[in-house]
Amino acid sequence: MYDIVFWEMGLQLPFSDFQMVIFWHLRLAPSELHSNGVTFMRGFEIVYNCLKIGAIIPLFFYCFHLQKRKVDGKWRWVALKQGNMKLFKAYLEFVWHFKDKYILVQPFSSRAMLSVFRATPEYDENGAPVLNELGEHVSKLVYKFPFQWTRKHFDNKLGSYIWKEGELGDEDQRASLF
């Protein structure tokens, strides 16, 4: 991770459930999201939690849209831009010169591991539950969000990450008025 997201933008570890769901939905490692995107994500979460609305994924992607671009045929960071609502005017411009310091983040304790992994039941190739010698269902740990840069995000069309107003539920539409 770039250190600016911790020191200047207030992101903390472990990531909140909302943040992990955003990374999972986007199929992005946290370091793939441009620093401004982290700021929008954190700001949205704080505001909507204070309003007791809750940080709802469709509402977030109604308020913020993705920008991704290729440079010399290679994909670069994924950025977020504000839609018509402009919730955070202080962050309308991109942050520049943030790539000077990079921090390696690694979970060392079992508590830290459980903050980024979840246990899921394991199934064999036929869909039958895998059982241990005692007949108990075997679980495996899976990532709550991607840890490294992959093409998975870029294989999806941009529209698959955006919600339009008509696609929001009633509660989400009311919340978008704030």
Return the percentage of the chain with pLDDT > 90, whole number: 11
Residue 178: which pLDDT band, with cuts at 50, 70 and 90?
very low
Residue 106 has pLDDT above 80, yes or no: no
- Is 86 a member of any domain? yes
134 or 178, which is more confident? 134
Whole-number Å distance between alpha carbons of 74 and 154: 11
Residue 156: which pLDDT band, with cuts at 50, 70 and 90?
confident
- Is 93 a member of any domain? yes
- Is 28 a member of any domain? yes
Query: In the numeric block, which tokens belong to residue 54?
Result: 């809750």
Number of neighbouring beta carbons within 10 Å of residue 138? 13
- Is 37 a member of any domain? yes
pTM here is 0.71
- Is 118 a member of any domain? no
- Is 45 a member of any domain? yes
Residue 28 has pLDDT above 80, yes or no: yes
Burial readout 53-63 (b: 16 or more C-beta within 10 A, e: otherwise): bebbebbbbbb
Domain count, the chain: 1
Range of the domain at 154: 4-106+145-175
175 or 156, which is more confident? 156
Give residues with Cβ within 8 angstroms of 106, minimum separation 6: none
